[in-house]
Structure 1
Amino acid sequence: MPASHAEVEDDRRIRELLQNWAIWRDAGDWERFRTVWHPDGRMMATWTQGTGDEFIEISKQAWAKGISILHFLGGISVDLAGARAIAQTKMTISQRAEVEGVLCDVLCTGRFYDFLEKREGRWGIVLRQPIYEKDRMDPVTPGTAPVLDKALLEQFPPGYRHLAYLQTRIGYTVKRDMPGLKGPEVEALYARGAAWLQGKPLS
């Protein structure tokens, strides 16, 4: 069945919102970035979990410390159900920091899994939950390599263990049960998404 004009427009607005998230967040355009969230919207990241406003404040603090976390987006898939939607966006997270005395880049590939709602004519994020599929760590200067603590590295899920290692080493407490490509965590997330589209409360 062809999408209605209203559905096409909702899909367009959601895609625009998701792209603005990455541009405004990485540019430090905090006031415009605030507009992609609903007031009760929440952000789940490896290094912080909280409301959109809390995410903005801790991101500002990270910027002031020189912490570099950047995002790059790929394809977007949107499932619409009236005033609710689930969107999945292919993405990479890149972070640069010194690890065991060596400046490194970590690149994590995954998806943003977003719970969205249209309130008073405006789409906004109610929950953003990244899915972490795989990652790697590379020294910035060729020929150098950090000597990693294998025991610490293996404490983290495979999808984001190098990212978690770097973030732990710079002082963050990393959440250790984030969803990956497979497993019970991501299956539970898909179930929450299906329930959201059916009009059920966000569990």
Structure 2
Amino acid sequence: MSGWDDKLAIDELLHNWAIRRDAGHWERFQTVWHDDGWMMATWFQGPATEFIRVSREGWDKGVNILHFLGGSSIDIRAHRAIAQTKMTISQRASINGCLCDVVCTGRFYDFLEKRNDRWAIVIRQPIYEKDRIDPVSPADVPELDQGSLQAFPEGYRHLAYMQEQIGYRVKRDMPSLKGKQVEALYQRGDRWLEGLAVTPQEFLSVT
């Protein structure tokens, strides 16, 4: 497979992640991950197999989270790759009786590896750049606790607020557009492409 073919295969994989997850095609969603795959998100950090399980449970309970993808930049070195993909995360839920949409813009930052001629995700870490909250009905105004809202990082402040309102515990040191967390992520990406070890535990300890 040529370098261009590898990029096409990775690009298809990245789109399959969003389509299959948002459509609830859980068995097919499993195929975009390696067996030791790991997912980092505001509301979940752990093995991909567990992420699929809790995502499916949320789907069955009516949790409404959707993804939209933009362009990708893919760097390949031997059997490893780093992909950055522009994306939005859209979540709908009720806040104090007001049905709202939160839209968070950012990037998926993926650590990928080719094993047995198959590309798949080893670690996915979103970068949260900016977000906003809108009432579904323009006649409504959500009541937000400003103290709680301001306690969350700017890049995913409203998303975190909504997610904690519906019962999730949100990680408060995820990478944003700028800062030490995203710089540490880029350094891990460089190490990955150099063939060095990058472990999921590193992503849990960033502060």
Tell me how far apart the structure 2 counterparts of residues 153 and 18 of structure 1 sit (CA, whole Å): 31
Shift of 1:133: 0.2
Which residue of the partner structure matches residue 39 of structure 1? 35
Please give the residue correspondences for 1:1-203 in structure 2 after superposition, counting only pairs within 5 Å. Answer: 6-203=2-199
Tell me how far apart the structure 1 counterparts of residues 102 and 8 of structure 2 sit (CA, whole Å): 32
TM-score (normalizing by structure 1) = 0.97
For 2:131, the aligned partner's letter is D
Tell me how far apart the structure 2 counterparts of residues 70 and 145 of structure 1 sit (CA, whole Å): 23
For 1:167, the aligned partner's letter is Q
Tell me how far apart the structure 2 counterparts of residues 172 and 156 of structure 1 sit (CA, whole Å): 14
* Consecutive aligned runs of 4 or more in structure 1 exceeding 3 Å deviation: none
Shift of 1:111: 0.1
Q: Which runs of 5+ in 2 are unaligned?
A: 200-207
Tell me how far apart the structure 1 counterparts of residues 143 and 16 of structure 2 sit (CA, whole Å): 38
Shift of 1:49: 1.0
For 1:138, the aligned partner's letter is D
Tell me how far apart the structure 1 counterparts of residues 156 and 116 of structure 2 sit (CA, whole Å): 37
How well do the aligned residues superpose, as a CA RMSD in angstroms? 0.7
Shift of 1:104: 0.1
Tell me how far apart the structure 1 counterparts of residues 28 and 142 of structure 2 sit (CA, whole Å): 38
For 1:6, the aligned partner's letter is S
Q: Which runs of 5+ in 1 are unaligned?
A: none
Per-residue Cα deviation, 1:77-120 (whole angstroms, up to 9, x for no partner): 00000100000000000000001210000000000000000001
Shift of 1:51: 1.0
Identity of aligned residues (%): 65
Shift of 1:6: 1.1
Shift of 1:164: 0.2
Tell me how far apart the structure 1 counterparts of residues 143 and 125 of structure 2 sit (CA, whole Å): 31
